[in-house]
Amino acid sequence: MIEKLKRSASEIYTSRAVLSRLVRQQLTLRYRRTVLGYLWTLVNPLLMMSVMAMVFSTIMKEDVKVFTVFLFAGMIPWTCFSSIVVQSGGAFINNEGLIKKIYLPKILFPLSISLGVLIDSALSFFALFVIILAVGGEVSQALFFLPVAYLLVFVFSLGVGLMAAVATVFFRDLQYVIQIAMQGLFFLTPVLYKKDMLSGVVADLVAFNPVVPFVELFRAPLSHASLPADDVIIKALVISIFSIVLGLGTLLAQEKKVVFRL
Amino acid sequence: MSKISVDKLSIKFRIYHDRSPSLKDYVANLFRGKRQAAYSDFWAVRDISLEFNSGDRVGIVGHNGAGKSTLLKALCRVYESSDGKVTVDGRVAPLLEIGAGFHPEFTGRENIYLNGTILGYSEAQLRLIEPEVIAFAELEEFIDTPVKYYSTGMYMRLAFSLATAMHPDILILDEVFAGGDAGFMKKATARMFEMIDRANIMIMVSHDHKLVRSLCNRVVWLDHGRVVLDGPSDEVIDKYLESITNA
């Protein structure tokens, strides 16, 4: 396994040019020939979240400004996670033409998608951050923790994404199952609400939701101007290591079979 | 010096009788205990041992489904062996299907870079060959148009020009001979011959026996995934054609 991992790492290094091309393709393709072009990547979540902030601050009877910061801080890691997982799910089946014609390290497909999403997410974070400042969000040194938070949520999502990419090749139904599961998981993740607002069965379910610590990693510095609690950081670290080990393990064990099942 | 050795290579495909298994079937079968054999194994390449050395111009012949393309894909690592081993020394240029990595939304120029990178060219090499590729494809006017607006001929010309722009050690060709009008065909064939000339090892699959005779000095005849005969071109092709007319 270690041997395979080393070989895989050196393969990624030698094909880094392909990786960066694939990432660029992913970033530039979507909004081709639209007037706003890449700006849509920023405008889209901004508009969506503004509507959500307006509606849910009323429902929750919260101050709009406070709630906006709270919501944005939760949406950033959530969107990053769910986009990586959903899009990686199609990584192999959508590149069937290429995989069957030419050898490329299989990990390049989910990895390029995940990196593309990460870049999108980081850029829309800056746009959201401007809004957070505009509505009077607090600026503190805790913000310097955010790159670490991003790294953790990326590693975690990549691990789940790798598993999704491989599993979808074997069970095509999963593309749809993953989308529905993500919608369900969204409501079991304290993005729109605070964790302590829950009770009963739902609270128990949320306690087992692995995404929760990652949301808290972003919420503490952005919404509370403080570093996340130590136990949250450790939880997130353990979960992301677990996820990436499982993801890489799945990929390395199954990657030779992928081409035969496309 | 380049070298390819194929050692007892076997490649197995699993053929599903009705459809690809869904998650539901999988779970259902788990509970049923005994798994029904909803598939059968098919050996596209079976226990093949071959060695290709520098200077070899190899043609692979055989009827449809003999495992020719599968063998080529195994040499390019697209298919990993189910059993046995393939060792390749030297840079391989796989020309299994030209234009495979093209993206319809990208312009011709962008596709040169995207597909070129996938084919293993470096950024600097691509900048160097870009003008020559465009000129050879006769696409100067349309190079900044998305390739989805290209005619089939334009698309083929660009893909062919790019794929043949470099001279690899090991050249692997699967029925790759360019389409296009007569003028382009002529210059493409010349370019192809030059590329084959310069390659250290060339392996091709073709049903055009005249072409194989003229380009290859060695022919491998495959049947049902096994090697029937391996030897000098004329000898093997004559026997192969004989077997067809006798059958």
Taking residue A54's Cβ as centre, other Cβ atoms within 10 Å add up to 12
Write down the domain spans for chain B. 3-90+205-246, 95-199
Q: Would the CB atoms of B20 and A17 count as touching at under 8 Å?
A: no
Over residues A203-253, the pLDDT tens digits come to 888 889 999 999 999 999 998 889 999 999 999 999 999 999 999 999 999
Q: What are the tokens at B133?
A: 């590729």
Q: How far is CA A37 from the centre of its chain?
A: 22
Contact B157, B133 (CB under 8 A): no
The single-letter DSSP state of residue B203 is E
What tokens appear for B132 in the block? 């020559």
**Chain B neighbors of A256, CB-CB under 8 A:** 80
Regions in chain A scoring below 50 on pLDDT: none
Number of compact structural domains in chain A: 1
Q: Is domain B95-199 given the CATH code 3.10.129.10 in the classification? A: no
CATH code of the domain made up of B3-90+205-246? 3.40.50.300
- Report pTM: 0.89
Tokens 């590693």 locate to A155
* Residues of chain A by 3-state class (helix, strand, coil), percent to 5: 80, 0, 20
Find the farthest-apart pair of alpha carbons in chain B and give their distance in angstroms, rounded: 64
Locate the chain B residue with the closest alpha carbon to A256: B80
* ipTM for this model: 0.83
Q: Which residues pair with B231 in a beta bridge?
A: B219
Overall residue count recorded for chain A in this entry: 262
Please judge whether B14 and A100 are an interchain contact, meaning their C-beta atoms are less than 8 angstroms apart: no
* Kind and range of the H or E run holding A113: helix A108-134
Amino acid at position A6, single letter: K
Residue-range definition of the domain harbouring residue A224: 2-261
Interface test with A, best of B20, B127, B170 (most A CBs within 10 A): B20
What does each of the 247 residues of chain B score in pLDDT, given as a tens digit?
A: 789 999 999 998 887 765 556 677 777 766 665 555 667 888 999 999 999 999 999 999 998 888 998 999 999 888 988 889 999 988 887 776 777 778 888 899 999 998 888 888 888 999 999 999 999 999 999 999 999 999 988 888 898 888 888 888 888 888 766 566 788 888 888 888 888 888 899 999 988 888 889 889 999 999 999 999 999 999 999 999 999 888 7
Of A104, A170, A172, the CB nearest to B118: A104
Please indicate whether, in this complex, the C-beta atoms of B101 and A101 are within 8 angstroms of each other. Answer: yes
Q: Rounded to an integer, what distance in angstroms lies between the CA atom of residue B111 and that of residue A85?
A: 28
B95-199 shares the fold of B3-90+205-246: yes
Question: Which residues on B lie below 8 Å from A101 (Cβ)?
Answer: 78, 94, 96-97, 100-101
Is B117 touching A (CB cutoff 8 A)? yes
Q: Give A164's contacts (C-beta < 8 A, 6+ positions apart).
A: A85, A86, A88, A89, A174, A178
Contact B78 A101 (CB under 8 A): yes
Residue B87, classed as helix, strand or coil, is: strand
Backbone angles phi, psi at A212, to 5 degrees: -55, -50
Looking at the DSSP bridge assignments, the partners of residue B85 are B7
